[in-house]
A = this chain, B = another copy of it.
Amino acid sequence: MDNQDKIKTALKVCHLYYEDGLSQGEIASKLAISRPTISRLLQFARDQGLLRIEIMDPLKDLDVLAQQLEAKYQLKKVILIFDATNDLDAINPKIGAAAADYLETIVKDNDSIGISWGETLENVANHLHPSNANNVSVVQLKGSVSGSEMNNFANDIINKFSNAFHTDAVNLPLPVIFENATTKQVVMQDHFIKAIIQAGIDANIALFTSGTVRDDAMLFNLGYLTDPEIKQLQAQAVGDVVSRFITATGELADSDIDERTVGIPLAALRDKEYSILVSGSSWKVASIRAALLGGYANVLITDSQTAAALLD
């Protein structure tokens, strides 16, 4: 066997071994070569530099990425978790845990925490630990949902925050989007409701996520929006923040729908001591970027791949 043939065989063995995950024995019988020879071919490949094993250092990389993001979007703090899968089910628990950890480090006595709800916030709630801070209040930043399942979902988050901060969280007992602006206006006259919204505006910490405008976006599947409205939003908006849809540059996308939406106004997020955007996965890059450009967050918690995408 001449050198070229040897390289060729060694490469085939490398592919079977490192990519297809066959054992050397399996490769041996498949190629009708003895086991030791397979071992030697792999050694040969390594010696010849035929395969390159690169060890990444995501932790070091994360630091750099975080700093670059802080600079680019003028953020107070960026927290990144490492993820190579880009799988929501893997990312969400991790950024949830990171957000819960971060929250624990910043919450002090008498703080007021405004929260939204959704899958991401659920993951944050799941990782909360009992807080040492006293007299902390928790308030919902946006309306809830009428469907019973979903309502339980939002309530579950509220309850977990309540427990963690030893308080009774203030629930905003309204649908997140009304059918028309007038209805909302009327409801908003209610002093009790007004007070809740004001509490959300006054909260010094806000914790929220950003949503997409994909067909499977949660806000599109609650029945509050008609198909034409959804189509129009998909054309104009890149996602939502506290259920308010924004364009790629962070502007409000549709004031009509916005006026039917129950919750704190977007602008209120700009003035908070901590306005924490917790959102990850490649699907959400556009909405995160928009939220950051709009200045709605001063803290970002996301995953490494999304972070890299946000720098482009």
Q: What residues make up the interface of A, taking CB atoms closer than 8 Å to B?
A: 3-4, 7-8, 11, 14-15, 18-19, 45, 48-59, 81-82, 84-85, 94, 97
Determine if A14 and B49 form an interchain contact, defined as CB atoms under 8 angstroms apart: no
Residues in chain B near residue A8, CB distance under 8 A? 59
Q: A7-B82, A82-B7, A84-B49 are in contact. Are A14 and B55 (CB under 8 A)?
A: yes
Residues in chain B near residue A4, CB distance under 8 A? 59
Residues in chain B near residue A55, CB distance under 8 A? 11, 14-15, 18-19, 45, 50-51
Determine if A53 and B53 form an interchain contact, defined as CB atoms under 8 angstroms apart: yes
* A97 vs B4: C-alpha distance when bound (angstroms): 12
Residues in chain B near residue A14, CB distance under 8 A? 55
Given A11-B55, A51-B53, A51-B56, 4 additional A-B pairs, CB 8 A: A50-B56, A50-B84, A51-B55, A53-B53
* A3 vs B54: C-alpha distance when bound (angstroms): 21
Residues in chain B near residue A52, CB distance under 8 A? 53-54, 56
Residues in chain B near residue A82, CB distance under 8 A? 7, 48
* A56 vs B82: C-alpha distance when bound (angstroms): 27
Copy number of this protein in the oligomer? Answer: 2
Residues in chain B near residue A15, CB distance under 8 A? 55
Q: Which residue of B lies closest to A21 (CB)?
A: B46
Residues in chain B near residue A51, CB distance under 8 A? 53-56
Residues in chain B near residue A48, CB distance under 8 A? 82, 84
Expressed in whole angstroms, the minimum distance between the Cβ of A275 and any Cβ of chain B is 25
Residues in chain B near residue A54, CB distance under 8 A? 51-54
5 contacts between A and B (CB under 8 A): A18-B53, A49-B56, A49-B84, A51-B53, A52-B56
The 5 closest A-B pairs by CB, nearest first: A49-B84, A52-B54, A14-B55, A51-B55, A18-B53
* A55 vs B11: C-alpha distance when bound (angstroms): 7
Identify which of A15, A19, A49 gathers the most chain B CB atoms within 10 Å of its CB: A49
Determine if B3 and A85 form an interchain contact, defined as CB atoms under 8 angstroms apart: no
Determine if A59 and B3 form an interchain contact, defined as CB atoms under 8 angstroms apart: no
Residues in chain B near residue A53, CB distance under 8 A? 18, 51-54
Expressed in whole angstroms, the minimum distance between the Cβ of A90 and any Cβ of chain B is 10
Determine if B11 and A49 form an interchain contact, defined as CB atoms under 8 angstroms apart: no
Expressed in whole angstroms, the minimum distance between the Cβ of A14 and any Cβ of chain B is 5
